[in-house]
């Protein structure tokens, strides 16, 4: 019967994403084996990344790309969070009704711009400004962090705003009725009520920022060294993969899969935490 086929195909499609996920874990883990067995857990704090042309081996350590990923994301979060909160507050509490729609659309368009465009613009227009203001060579950790911030602001603002909109009007009205200022209502009523969604949005944005590739590839400098100053160039896991995966062989490639595995597992964990601990109210029944 058509009905049976329909239902079965639906079930099959639903489980497909499950299998794809398992597949990704398996492949990453399998291809990382060589590096895993060669370097073990010390990979995480080893700074060398040198291929040995002769025997197609080498010594590879993930410390620098890992640190680069973490630092660039940290900078992005520090800059993006207050701005995203501000935008969310503006949209849900301050803006006049007629302003809300166009401003929302503008923020959503920011989110729609492909990552590589941020890279182009960042490299040719924004990097020189960072260089002029902070020194350095233009491309480096700071530039990458700032542009990364711009990229995740819309996402964070949207989720935060949704969370803030779940606060019942009566609650806000009671506070206003007691003579509270707008800020106080935000601070004492909205934020605590929407706390879960807000923190969830921050963590979710963090998870996304970790995996951001193209913009960061343009802007972080792609240099295998630890930045001594915030304007120094460095690298991150996605950037290293983007630049060097194509030519890598054997042990180096396996080391890259090792890094990919780390990135995937950490992103997965962070996003899961965001979903389960903070955004669980948002799960639609």
Partner 1 sequence: MNRLILNKIVLLLSTLSAVIGIGFLFWILITLSYKGISSLSLSTFTNDLVEGGIRNLLVGQFTMALLASFIAIPIGMFAGIWLREYSNNSRLANVIRNLSDIMMSAPSIVIGVFVYALFVAPFGGYNGFAGVIALTIMMIPIIINTTDNMLSLVPKELREAGIALGGSKHKIIVQIVIKAAKVGITTGILLSFARIIGETAPLLFTSANSQFFTMDLTEQFPSLTVSIYNLATYPDEASRNLAWAASFVLTIIVLIINLMGRYMTRNKK
Residues of this chain, 230-269, that bind partner 1 according to CB under 8 A: 238, 241-242, 245-246, 256-257, 260, 263-264, 267-268
Q: Is residue 210 a contact point for partner 1 (CB under 8 A)?
A: yes
CB of 41 to partner 1, least distance (A): 20
Out of 35, 64, 77, 85, the residue judged to bind partner 1 by CB under 8 A? 85
Q: Is residue 2 a contact point for partner 1 (CB under 8 A)?
A: yes
Q: Is residue 16 a contact point for partner 1 (CB under 8 A)?
A: yes
The footprint of partner 1 on this chain (CB under 8 A) covers a number of residues equal to 92
Q: Is residue 133 a contact point for partner 1 (CB under 8 A)?
A: no
Q: Is residue 177 a contact point for partner 1 (CB under 8 A)?
A: no
Q: Is residue 171 a contact point for partner 1 (CB under 8 A)?
A: no
Q: Is residue 186 a contact point for partner 1 (CB under 8 A)?
A: yes
Q: Is residue 128 a contact point for partner 1 (CB under 8 A)?
A: no
Render the chain in DSSP notation, one character per residue: -HHHHHHHHHHHHHHHHHHHHHHHHHHHHHHHHHHHHHHGGGGGG---EEEETTTTEEEE--HHHHHHHHHHHHHHHHHHHHHHHHHHHIIIIIS-HHHHHHHHHHHHHHHHS-HHHHHHHIIIIIHHHHHHHH-TTSSSHHHHHHHHHHHHHHHHHHHHHHHHHTS-HHHHHHHHHTT--HHHHIIIIIHHHTHHHHHHHHHHHHHHHHT--HHHHHHSB--SS--SSTTS-B--HHHHHHHHTTT--HHHHHHHHHHHHHHHHHHHHHHHHIIIIISGGG---
Out of 74, 182, 226, 230, the residue judged to bind partner 1 by CB under 8 A? 182
The nearer residue to partner 1, 229 or 243, going by C-beta atoms, is: 243
Q: Is residue 271 a contact point for partner 1 (CB under 8 A)?
A: yes
Q: Is residue 27 a contact point for partner 1 (CB under 8 A)?
A: yes
From 35-43, 44-52, 161-169, 277-285, span contacting partner 1 (CB under 8 A): 277-285
CB of 136 to partner 1, least distance (A): 19
| Long-range residue pairs from 242-250, CB within 8 A, at least 24 positions apart, any chain | 242/213, 242/214, 242/217, 243/217, 248/51, 249/51, 249/56, 250/34, 250/56, 250/57
Taking CB under 8 A as the criterion, which residues in 144-163 touch partner 1?
A: 150, 153-154, 157
The nearer residue to partner 1, 70 or 275, going by C-beta atoms, is: 275
Out of 59, 74, 113, 226, the residue judged to bind partner 1 by CB under 8 A? 113
d(CA 246, CA 217): 15
Taking CB under 8 A as the criterion, which residues in 34-73 touch partner 1?
A: none
CB of 228 to partner 1, least distance (A): 25
């Amino acid at each position: 019967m058509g009905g049976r086929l329909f239902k079965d195909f639906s079930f099959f499609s639903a489980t497909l994403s499950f299998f794809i996920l398992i597949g990704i874990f398996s492949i990453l883990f399998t291809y990382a084996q060589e590096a895993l067995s060669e370097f073990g857990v010390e990979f995480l704090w080893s700074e060398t990344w040198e291929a040995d042309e002769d025997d197609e081996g080498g010594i590879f350590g993930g410390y620098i790309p890992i640190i680069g990923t973490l630092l660039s994301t940290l900078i992005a979060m520090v800059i993006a969070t207050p701005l995203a909160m501000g935008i969310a507050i503006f949209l849900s509490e301050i803006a006049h009704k007629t302003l809300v729609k166009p401003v929302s659309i503008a923020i959503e368009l920011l989110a729609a711009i492909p990552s590589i465009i941020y890279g182009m613009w960042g490299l040719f227009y924004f990097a020189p400004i960072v260089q002029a203001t902070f020194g350095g060579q233009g491309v480096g950790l700071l530039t990458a962090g700032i542009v990364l911030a711009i990229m995740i602001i819309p996402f964070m603002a949207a989720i935060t705003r949704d969370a803030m909109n779940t606060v019942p009007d009566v609650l806000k009205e009671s506070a206003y009725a007691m003579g509270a200022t707008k800020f106080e209502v935000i601070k004492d009523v909205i934020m605590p009520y929407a706390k879960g969604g807000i923190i969830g949005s921050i963590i979710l944005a963090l998870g996304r920022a970790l995996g951001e590739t193209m913009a960061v590839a343009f802007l972080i400098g792609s240099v295998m060294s630890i930045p001594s100053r915030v304007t120094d160039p460095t690298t991150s896991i996605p950037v290293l993969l983007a630049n060097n995966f194509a030519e890598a062989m054997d042990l180096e490639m396996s080391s890259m899969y090792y890094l990919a595995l780390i990135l995937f597992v950490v992103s997965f964990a962070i996003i899961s935490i965001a979903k389960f601990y903070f955004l669980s109210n948002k799960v639609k029944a």
